[in-house]
Amino acid sequence: MKKEIGFIGLGIMGKPMSKNLLKAGYSLVVCDINLYAVEELVEAGAQKAISPKEVAQRTGIIFTMLPNSPHVKEVVLDKDGILEGAKEGTILVDLSSIAPKVSRELFNICKEKGVVMLDAPVSGGEPKAINASLSIMVGGPEDAFESVKEILYKMGASVILVGDTGSGNVTKLANQMIVALNIAAMSEALVLAAKAGVDPEKVYQAIRGGLAGSVVLDAKAPMVLKRNYNPGFRIELHIKDLLNALDTAHEIGVPVPLTAQILEIMQALKADGKTCNDHGGIIQFYEKLAHIEIGLKG
């Protein structure tokens, strides 16, 4: 029997990731404010806990998958939080995408309690969470990483230790900058094609095998051609990541003008009430400017 582990945060990403751990044979203790999600995991074979503290009391390895820095700090530090129940030697793996400085802050607080924390944000969205093919970028001590690497490979196809604590989230910010700008470039190109009277679906098929082809293009072009903006990965979450990217860049004196530009495009979509759209919905900004809607005919 594999070691019992904890999982806190059963949202769009956390739910399928925890289910993959169950399929891999791990005994799982789960916790979330969404009790329906908890019951779904219990039906799949997990055990439920009423608080992060209880999860920590019952397990030695804990995964968290939460929306942003304040949520992670609350789950780790508050009354009935992880550190209230964690034993010395516990490994906490935060899969959330948060500010690198918060990861480093939490690492130091956990260390005082004898708990080792890794920051291990993921990339790939819901589809790759479901089929366990996520890219997982990890920051923290190598010995702790080696202790959990096998488990991480049950959720991801790529698991890389990129450096010290906070490095995982720096890497994720770089990832999110590239993804956002790829989607923006695709959007500009497909709207141009449509406005010029060329079928954007045929444009996509023609360019996907060349230098312009990418994982982002193949993931998002079919969705936007069908006008399918169901997340996926919500625009509001990408805004959060890009705000963290700008804050981090400004702290260390790195200009990121293209990231600032795409962030403002997303803020315009937020003002338009589209923050719950998949980030492929960025194309709607360009459609509005060009007075055209793309999409498959028929």
Spell out where the chain has E strands: 5-8, 28-31, 47-48, 61-64, 91-94, 116-119, 122-123, 134-139, 156-163
DSSP assigned state of 3: P
Three-class SS state of 177: helix
Counting runs of H as helices and runs of E as strands, what totals does the chain give?
14, 9
Three-class SS state of 188: helix
Amino acid at 125: G
Please, are residues 94 and 64 in contact by the beta-carbon 8 Å criterion? yes
* Six token digits for residue 9: 């945060």
Cβ neighbours of 226 (radius 10 Å): 11
Phi, psi of 160 (to 5 degrees): -125, 130
* Alpha carbon 191 to chain centroid, angstroms: 28
**Nearest by Cα to 190 from 294, 280, 290:** 294
Distance CA 8, CA 32 (A): 6
Catalytic residue IDs: 172
Cβ neighbours of 19 (radius 10 Å): 22
Please, are residues 161 and 259 in contact by the beta-carbon 8 Å criterion? no
Distance CA 85, CA 252 (A): 36
